[in-house]
Amino acid sequence: MEPGESELDALARELHEELKVRIVAGSTSHLCRLDAGRGPDRVRLSAWLVSDWRDEPTNAAPEEHDEIRWFPVAELPPLAHGLLRSALVDAIGTHLA
């Protein structure tokens, strides 16, 4: 997040920078938030469900990502932060139930 930016603003900016999509207003749901680490290594990870967007997702940041793909929740690959994967799978399951 940049100074003065909300989580939702940061999400919208990042999705546009990295996937060239724009979130449709009212189409987001916050799924979960996880704080990890301590001191200067502390990070806050937040997951959102975006149900509608404009434009076709494309890898607009190939220097950061090899590819983009869709996954069923059960086949979600390991994430850089293992605790986030568990929290995300649980939150998606609760949200979709």
* 13-48 residue pLDDT tens: 999 999 999 999 999 999 888 887 888 888 888 889
pLDDT of residue 39: 87
**pTM of the full predicted structure?**
0.79
Looking at the domain assignment, is residue 1 inside a domain?
no
Q: Which range is most confident: 9-23, 41-55, 76-90? A: 9-23
Looking at the domain assignment, is residue 75 inside a domain?
yes
Which phi-psi region, left, alpha or beta, contains residue 85 (left: φ > 0; alpha: ψ -120 to 50)?
Answer: alpha
What is the domain count for the chain?
Answer: 1
Distances (CA, A) of 2 to 5, 6, 30, 43: 5, 8, 19, 14
CATH number for the domain that contains residue 20: 3.90.79.10
Q: Return all residues near 7 (Cβ < 8 A) that are at least 6 apart.
A: 1, 30, 46, 48
In the three-class reduction of DSSP (H, G, I as helix; E, B as strand; rest coil), residue 91 is classed as helix
Question: Is pLDDT at 80 greater than 70 in this prediction?
Answer: no
